[in-house]
Amino acid sequence: MKKVLVAMSGGVDSSAALVILKEKYDVMGVTLKLHDGELEQDGMKTCCSLRDIEDARQVAARFGVMHYVYNFKELFGEKVIRNFVESYERGVTPNPCIDCNRYIKFDGLLERGISLGCDYVATGHYARVEYDEKRGRWLLKKAVCTDGENEKDQSYVLYNLTQEQLSHILFPLGGLTKSEVRSIAAENGLLNAEKPDSQDICFVPNGKYVEFIEKYTGRRPVPGDVIDTGGKVVGRHNGLINYTVGQRKGLGIAFGKPAYVVGKNVADNTLIVGSEQDLLSDTLIADELNWISIESLTEPILCKAKTRYRMQEQPCVVYPESDGTVRVEFYEPQRAITPGQRVVFYDGDIVIGGGTIR
């Protein structure tokens, strides 16, 4: 019987994944200790707390499954938290959940699992992995359900997976809805069957990013000018890390009409504001690319793409550039395309690949 290391966060999804897989595989559970967060801060649910570890342990014990706790705090601090802070200081908006999947769950953990003699690592992500004989490649595909598309699909945050990693990954929830997963948990008497989903970024559960960055760096944000798209000074900001592209509230300026953050210039410490129309763009450049369904991009392709997790993918053309980046041209202008976020390309339910928006 093949061995599977199931990453258990203490939540219902990963617990249900273990329940499903134990019928076919020799499973063991592992919970990753990533930081020193508590279960709740200011009423916000987070992960990686002592309570989460205990919940995972109890689920594993219920089925006689070995459970381990791995301390990945150092790796998480280097690859996820540090990048989060440095990205904000560079004036871009990071996605730490994608970095966590890339460097922690499907790099560090997979390496650990293989060293323990496991054939696969499994998680509670809503996505699918299939091998395409015709292409000779492993494919990452969107989650599905009986009604078609699955609103819990998480393929967007998994676009960095490599062919080698995909060959050792199981996503048992890829054909289930959240309600079906909770039903499986309830039917098996799991204590976390109704446990709420984690919210916000796990190491900043109260959403106070600026306070976290100040504490991490020991530096306070430097105020500067707010300018309009024509370069006219229209106010003052209290530090660029306080703002993101598309933001409207909390600008504290008299613009004469609704004002939105449309850009940041770290070099001269200016915040650029404009109208909602100024947020629209039909083109972006992306680098740090990872391709899944194809070996590489050598000619333009027609596909769909999305620049945020919670959006419907949009038709576009992706052009390879000589410097190794890609230029993405959308059929229709998109709102608030944000540097530092990720663009992910789709061919139907197949993830072609993705990259970082520059």
First CA to last CA distance, the chain: 46
* pLDDT tens-place string over residues 284-319: 999 999 999 999 999 999 999 999 999 999 999 999
Placement of tokens 């992960």 in the chain: 47
Of 100, 145, 303, 316, the active-site residue reads: 100
Please determine, for residue 39, whether its predicted confidence score (pLDDT) is greater than 90. Answer: no
Q: State the CB neighbour count (10 A cutoff) for residue 260.
A: 21
Structure tokens at 133: 């004989």
Nearest of 38, 19, 92 to residue 8 by alpha carbon: 19
Average pLDDT of the chain to the nearest whole number: 92
Please determine, for residue 14, whether its predicted confidence score (pLDDT) is greater than 70. Answer: yes
Q: Are 227 and 233 in contact (CB under 8 A)?
A: yes
**Sheet with strand 260-265: strands edge to edge:** 233-237, 224-228, 270-274, 260-265
Q: Are 67 and 31 in contact (CB under 8 A)?
A: yes
Of 48, 118, 145, 202, the active-site residue reads: 202
Task: Decide the pairing of beta strands 3-7 and 120-122.
Answer: parallel
Active-site residue flag, 100: yes
Nearest of 91, 120, 99 to residue 271 by alpha carbon: 91
pLDDT at res. 281: 97
State the angle between helix axes of 209-217 and 82-89 in degrees (0 to 180), rounded to the nearest 10: 100
* pLDDT tens-place string over residues 212-240: 999 999 999 999 999 999 999 999 999 99
* pLDDT tens-place string over residues 69-96: 999 999 999 999 999 999 999 999 999 9
**Which of 36 and 341 is assigned the larger pLDDT?**
341
CA distances (Å), origin 88, targets 1, 204, 272, 299, 311: 46, 14, 16, 33, 23
pLDDT at res. 38: 47
Domains of the chain listed by start with CATH number: 3-187 (3.40.50.620), 221-274 (2.30.30.280), 279-357 (2.40.30.10)
pLDDT at res. 43: 41
Q: How confident is the model at residue 48 (pLDDT cuts 50, 70, 90)?
A: low
Query: What's the rounded Cα separation, in Å, for the pair 356 and 342?
Result: 5
In the DSSP assignment, the letter for residue 35 is S
Placement of tokens 């709102």 in the chain: 335
Nearest of 142, 136, 145 to residue 167 by alpha carbon: 136
Query: What's the rounded Cα separation, in Å, for the pair 351 and 305?
Result: 9
Q: What is the pTM of this model?
A: 0.93
Active-site residue flag, 202: yes
Query: What's the rounded Cα separation, in Å, for the pair 60 and 18?
Result: 8
pLDDT at res. 253: 84
Lowest mean pLDDT among 114-123, 148-157, 348-357: 148-157
The string of DSSP codes covering 50-66 is HHHHHHHHHHHHHTT--
CA distances (Å), origin 218, targets 74, 162, 202, 209: 20, 37, 21, 14
